[in-house]
Amino acid sequence: MKNFLKIPEEKRSLIKKIRNWLITFFLTILIRFIGITTRVKQVNNKVLTKVINKHGSVILATWHQNIFFSIWLLRNKELTALISSSEDGEIISNVFKQYGYPAVRGSTTRGGIPALKQLIDLLKIGKSVAITPDGPLGPPEKIQSGVILLAKYADIPIIPWHYESHNQWRLKSWDKHKIPKPFSCIVESFGEPFYVPKTLLPKEVPLVCEKLEDILKELTKNTLEQIPFTNKSSKN
């Protein structure tokens, strides 16, 4: 690290650009290879179209651990992704762009009011968005208030979403991120719309977060039950 800091700024910038390009290229190819070799079963997928037809747009919410392969599974759903403004987020954003996703950089929590406003504006003009309500830093599988406030102010329902693979790797990251192995069987599940009342009071937000959290956890459990094989081969 010390040797890297001694390199002139222009050269450091070039090295970062090349590094980010190589990682983006590798991830893009890996996602495509896994995607074309896997078998996917969809559960309740028609609910997304029904909600969009009724409300004009939708907020799709899923755990942070699902980001990697959600890029493939949701690539034709015309979603705008909320992506962290961190350096890692830059790479993730570049990969999303390779699959045609528009992106909003930032967070709906930790002072992320600008990102929240952008998402509200998009939802109100009929653009659906995807958000990981336990990101970008966790704790894992704990709903933060941003997604609830987004649904309240935009007056748009949340659709919980989850996927599981019968054969996958688990990274040693804070969210134990999932990467399905090639030739896997995958199940992706769409939950029923979750409505947040516009009259929701600030003191009621934590309770609504808990309700959505329970729904996503139940969706995770139900999705696992749809997997044709056990996950014994997954690496932890």
The reply to whether 231 falls in a domain is no
Placement of tokens 């090295």 in the chain: 15
The reply to whether 232 falls in a domain is no
pLDDT value for 7: 65
Indicate if the pLDDT at residue 230 is higher than 50. Answer: no
Indicate if the pLDDT at residue 110 is higher than 70. Answer: no
DSSP one-letter code for 59: E
pLDDT in tens, 44-59: 999 999 999 999 999 9
Q: How many domains does the chain have?
A: 1
Indicate if the pLDDT at residue 229 is higher than 70. Answer: no
CB neighbour list of residue 83: distance below 8 Å, 6 or more residues apart: 89, 92, 93, 96, 103, 104, 105
Query: Is the CB of residue 147 less than 8 Å from the CB of residue 38?
Result: no
pLDDT value for 122: 97
What is the rounded average pLDDT for all residues in the chain? 91
The reply to whether 36 falls in a domain is yes
The reply to whether 13 falls in a domain is yes
Q: In 10 A of CB 93, how many CB atoms?
A: 18
CATH code for the domain in which residue 39 is found: 3.40.1010.10
Indicate if the pLDDT at residue 68 is higher than 90. Answer: yes
- In degrees rounded to 5, what are phi and psi of residue 113? -60, -45
Domain of residue 158 covers 2-226
Q: What is the DSSP string of 151-204?
A: HHHHT--EEEEEEEESSEEE-SSTT--EEEPTT-EEEEEEPPPB---TT--GGG
The reply to whether 236 falls in a domain is no
Indicate if the pLDDT at residue 98 is higher than 90. Answer: yes
The reply to whether 154 falls in a domain is yes
